[in-house]
């Protein structure tokens, strides 16, 4: 078996002590080492092809350098992470930021009936990010584990947790108000499941507020909810096409839903925006690449990921004293899917 290069080999090559090599490799900020010594050690590392033993380092430091990202699934068998482009961008940016700071991201799409605490215990995570937590129970259990954590798109009671949300209700309002300003009064709402409290419920309230302010009553038959998926969007589009009094516009709470609705309408001989106007939510690459291009409520998934990482690092460094609850702004991106009537 080939000899595994270790710190003793590097120390011998660089002409320094093993302790000095350890300080440099582990980036010890409490030690002052001459720049030429650091350069000599780094050159020895490069020459010998040294690769850190992350397992040994984790045992020594009681740190795994692992951050868990948990995206709860709305129901068994759901593939929400893979279908929704928002998650793709969020995950990509979060992984990059963590990697640049020496951490690895462990991604888990937890089933609805499994506790997120199990993941934290099994993997000995240094921190955890949970997106779209549907209830407070697991949040309290995670807090009791004393693991740094940040909740994203999770509306939890109290301020015991760091969280990053967007102006979800305002987003629903912006979407519906824009449709009304373009002459639409029969406006359908299509979303993920309307839980007691969550992003879909918030967006629904914004939709209702815009209707109310303009003297338009909500119609129960215009409110459709199911999985946030392309396939459910197709189903909803077909339902809308079959309505006796068909809405002239639809607000979908995710772009992936909106694209499905567009396909469902098309299968019934209807076109966007000629027959039905459509507006989505997220404004990722799906909105830009749709035909016609999709008007959408813009949220910055990359910014959300970077802010999430910052809040997590703050907790890992200073503990509960760094709890923050941030709400990021939204905007409307106008494209070609809404027609003035």
Domain at 39, CATH number: 1.10.260.40
Handedness of CA 155, 158, 163, 166 (dihedral sign): positive
Tell me the CB-side half-sphere exposure of residue 17, using CA atoms within 13 A.
Answer: 4
126's tokens: 């240094």
74's tokens: 């709305």
Residue 73 inside a domain? The answer is: yes
Ordered strands of the 149-152 beta sheet: 104-108, 66-70, 127-131, 149-152, 162-166, 325-328
Residue 60 inside a domain? The answer is: no
Q: Residue 107: beta bridge partners?
A: 69
Q: Residue 325: beta bridge partners?
A: 163
Least confident of 24-38, 271-285, 311-325: 24-38
The angle formed by the CA atoms of residues 40, 45 and 51, to the nearest 5 degrees, is 160
What is the DSSP track for 158-179? Answer: SSSSEEEEE-HHHHHHHHHHHH
E runs forming strands in the chain: 66-70, 104-108, 127-131, 149-152, 162-166, 187-192, 223-226, 249-252, 277-282, 295-298, 325-328, 331-333
What is the number of other CB atoms lying within 10 angstroms of the CB of residue 280? 31
Domain count, the chain: 3
Residue 253 inside a domain? The answer is: yes
Say yes or no: 293 and 311 in one domain: no
Model pLDDT for residues 328-341, shown as the tens digit of each residue: 999 999 999 999 99
Q: Look at 100 and 141; give whichever has higher pLDDT.
A: 100
Residue 60 predicted with pLDDT over 60: no
Classified as helix, coil or strand, 3 is coil
pLDDT for residue 332? 98
Classified as helix, coil or strand, 262 is helix
Say yes or no: 305 and 194 in one domain: no
Say yes or no: 15 and 85 in one domain: no
Say yes or no: 211 and 314 in one domain: no
Measured CA to CA, the distance from residue 22 to residue 186 in angstroms comes to 68
Say yes or no: 71 and 220 in one domain: no
Using 50, 70 and 90 to split pLDDT, how confident is the model at 75?
Answer: very low
Residue 335 inside a domain? The answer is: no
Identify the H or E element spanning 103: none
Model pLDDT for residues 201-249, shown as the tens digit of each residue: 999 999 999 999 999 999 999 999 999 999 999 999 999 999 999 999 9
Measured CA to CA, the distance from residue 307 to residue 313 in angstroms comes to 10
Containing structural domain, residue 114: 66-166+301-329
Say yes or no: 199 and 294 in one domain: yes
- Per-residue pLDDT, averaged over 42-59, amounts to 73
Model pLDDT for residues 280-339, shown as the tens digit of each residue: 999 988 899 999 999 999 999 999 999 999 999 998 888 766 889 999 999 999 999 999
Measured CA to CA, the distance from residue 285 to residue 225 in angstroms comes to 24
Say yes or no: 188 and 277 in one domain: yes
Handedness of CA 59, 60, 61, 65 (dihedral sign): negative
pLDDT for residue 269? 98
Residue 61 inside a domain? The answer is: no
Say yes or no: 172 and 160 in one domain: no
Measured CA to CA, the distance from residue 123 to residue 126 in angstroms comes to 9
């Amino acid at each position: 078996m080939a000899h595994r290069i270790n710190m003793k080999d590097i120390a011998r090559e660089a002409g320094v002590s093993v302790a000095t090599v350890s300080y440099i490799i582990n980036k010890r900020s409490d030690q002052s080492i001459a720049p030429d010594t650091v350069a000599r050690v780094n050159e020895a590392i490069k020459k010998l092809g040294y690769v850190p033993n992350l397992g040994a380092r984790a045992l020594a430091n009681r740190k795994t350098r692992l951050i868990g990202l948990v995206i709860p699934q709305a129901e068994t068998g759901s593939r929400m992470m893979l279908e929704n482009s928002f998650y793709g961008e969020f995950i990509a940016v979060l992984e990059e930021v963590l990697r640049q700071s020496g951490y690895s991201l462990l991604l888990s799409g937890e089933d609805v009936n499994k506790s997120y605490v199990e993941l934290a215990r099994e993997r000995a995570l240094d921190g955890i990010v949970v997106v779209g937590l549907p209830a407070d129970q697991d949040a309290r259990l995670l807090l009791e584990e004393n693991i740094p954590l940040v909740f994203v798109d999770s509306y939890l009671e109290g301020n015991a947790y760091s969280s990053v949300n967007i102006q979800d209700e305002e987003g629903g309002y912006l979407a519906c108000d824009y449709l009304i300003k373009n002459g639409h009064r029969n406006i359908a709402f299509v979303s993920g499941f309307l839980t007691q409290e969550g992003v879909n419920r918030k967006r629904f309230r914004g939709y209702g507020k815009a209707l109310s302010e303009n003297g338009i009553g909500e119609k129960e038959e215009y409110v459709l909810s199911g999985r946030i998926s392309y396939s459910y969007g197709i189903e909803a589009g077909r339902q809308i096409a079959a309505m006796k009094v068909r809405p002239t516009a639809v607000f979908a709470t995710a772009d992936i839903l909106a694209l499905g609705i567009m396909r469902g309408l098309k299968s019934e001989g209807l076109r966007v925006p000629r027959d039905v106007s459509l507006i989505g939510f997220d404004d990722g690459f799906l909105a830009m690449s749709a035909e016609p291009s999709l008007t959408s409520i813009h949220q910055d998934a990359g910014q959300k990921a970077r802010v999430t990482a910052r809040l997590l690092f703050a907790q890992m460094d200073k503990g509960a004293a760094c709890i923050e609850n941030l709400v990021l702004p939204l905007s409307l991106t106008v494209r070609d899917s809404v027609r003035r009537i």
